[in-house]
Chain A
Amino acid sequence: MTDHPHPIDRPSPQLRAEALEALLVERGLVKPEALDGFINRYVNDVGPMNGARVVAKAWVDPEYRQRLIASGTQAIKELGFGGPQGEHIVVVENSTTIHNVVVCTLCSCYPWPLLGLPPAWYKDPAYRSRIVREPRTLLAEMGLKLAPDVQIRVWDSSAENRYFVLPMRPEGTEGLSEADLASLVKRDAMVGVAVVTAA
């Protein structure tokens, strides 16, 4: 058995993060306000509400849906979305016969401009290891039981393309506005581990 790489009284990550920031700030290499800016962006401005707007627009506007499938990066830019981890967005569409689900087995690649930062489950070794090998079983464990005749497509984000799932519009939403539709669309459906349900 290998020895543990650190002494047993290794300082906590809280203290090591504080130490790293202090050392870089003292050397004039980072500004705390710049770090605050990165954090605020992903806490307040960028998150699944962006992706939900894209999905709702695609549901009500067939021409937008076509552009989104053909050229995801350009289509999301129409709504003002882009930036880090969004160099090339590929939108994959669910149907009654095909279900798409996205993973990054090697790390945590994720379409930040549309979904913000990935949730804990997406980064969990159990998800990274199992979704490529037994997706139907794992999706069922996560609460999504797919019919046996639905084909599963798993997308492993191993380069700089970022995959985004366009979920199916639920029945019973015919009269809803685009904004009301967007409020139904949650993060997990846009990664492919859930479906969108009407209210």
Chain B
Amino acid sequence: MDGIHDMGGMQGWGTVRIDPDEPVFAEPWHARTFALGLASMGVSGTNLDAFRHSLERLHPLDYLGDGYYGRWLGSAEQLCVDSGILAPGAVEARARRLRGENVEEPADVKVCKPQYQRGGAGSLRAIDALPLFAVGQSVRAKTFRKRGHTRLPAYIRGHAGVVSAIRPAAVLPDSTAHFVGEDAQHVYTVEFASSELWGEDAETSTLFIDMFESYLEVL
């Protein structure tokens, strides 16, 4: 989806500051949320790609305003609600009760975890098909616009690059995030010149990015 998460090349964000003394978790609730985020995938019967897509589906104001672990919290809650583990509004109602408000908590709803088959643990898969593209081959990233999850960022779409490596085949996040099969396929690292991505006046650099086979076409 064309969402706020797709940040490559956006302008206007200012500079980046490194805090050399940053703790792993700045707040206790960051740590609890990290662990809850990991746990939410299992209890909701979903997966990592669905978790990422759940982050992307947050309202853009929440995505930016809630901060990193705030997003994780929103995503974990969303997965639990989507799968019927928790009723819509259950977390907010409980949070209000925790701060002393006398609000009613919603009744439980029917559990409706996604039903789908996994071809194994993790994301890597052995597949029989031979790679469509070879190292050194010129390719172009497709220009598709999906409503759902994809790992083809907007700044790459339509641009020409060269295959620099063939990586292990893996499940396609565009499919697994929506529980419609794994569609395991070859993955390529493709290199793009900065002038191709950002124009002739761009700073000179080379961008390497991993592309699922179905993201690419012959140039």
Contacts and interface: CB of A to CB of B under 8 A. Distances in A.
Interface of A: 2, 4-6, 10-24, 27, 29-30, 34-36, 38-39, 42-43, 47, 87-88, 90, 105-108, 116-117, 119-121, 123-130, 132-138, 141-143, 151-161, 188, 193
A6 B167 CA distance: 43
18 contacts: A6-B62, A10-B92, A15-B95, A17-B33, A20-B91, A35-B32, A38-B39, A88-B167, A129-B8, A130-B16, A133-B11, A135-B205, A151-B206, A158-B211, A159-B151, A159-B170, A161-B168, A161-B189
B5 A2 contact: no
B32 A18 contact: yes
Q: Which of A18, A23, A116, A155 has the most CB of B within 10 A?
A: A23
A23 B90 contact: yes
A117 to B, nearest CB: 6
Interface of B: 5-11, 13-19, 22, 24-29, 31-36, 38-39, 43, 52, 55, 59, 61-62, 64, 66, 68-70, 73, 76-77, 80, 85-86, 90-92, 94-96, 98-99, 122-124, 151-153, 155, 165, 167-168, 170, 173, 187, 189, 194, 197-198, 202-212
A134 B15 CA distance: 12
B25 A39 contact: yes
A19 B90 CA distance: 9
Contact of A137 (B13, B68, B203): B203
Contacts of B80: 20, 24
Contacts, number: 234
A17 B203 contact: no
Nearest to B188: A159
Q: Which of B22, B167, B173, B205 has the most CB of A within 10 A?
A: B205
B16 A13 contact: no
The list of the 7 closest CB pairs from A to B, nearest first, reads: A105-B8, A11-B95, A19-B94, A159-B210, A35-B35, A126-B13, A129-B10
B170 to A, nearest CB: 5
A17 B31 CA distance: 10
Contacts of A88: 124, 167-168
Contacts of B212: 159
B64 A125 contact: yes
A110 B148 CA distance: 23
Given A14-B27, A16-B92, A120 B22 contact: yes
A121 B205 contact: no
Contact of A153 (B68, B94, B205): B205
Given A105-B153, A128-B8, A29 B77 contact: no
B39 A105 contact: no
A156 B8 contact: yes
A137 B206 CA distance: 14
Contacts of A135: 203, 205
Contacts of B18: 119, 121, 142-143, 188, 193
Contacts of B59: 5
A11 B24 contact: no
A160 B205 contact: no
A197 B71 CA distance: 36
A5 to B, nearest CB: 4
A156 B208 CA distance: 6
Nearest to A36: B35
B94 A23 contact: yes
Given A14-B29, A154-B207, A154-B208, A125 B73 contact: no
A81 to B, nearest CB: 16
B24 A106 contact: no
Nearest to B31: A39
Nearest to A143: B18
Contacts of A132: 8-9, 155, 197, 207
Contact of A106 (B5, B17, B206): B5
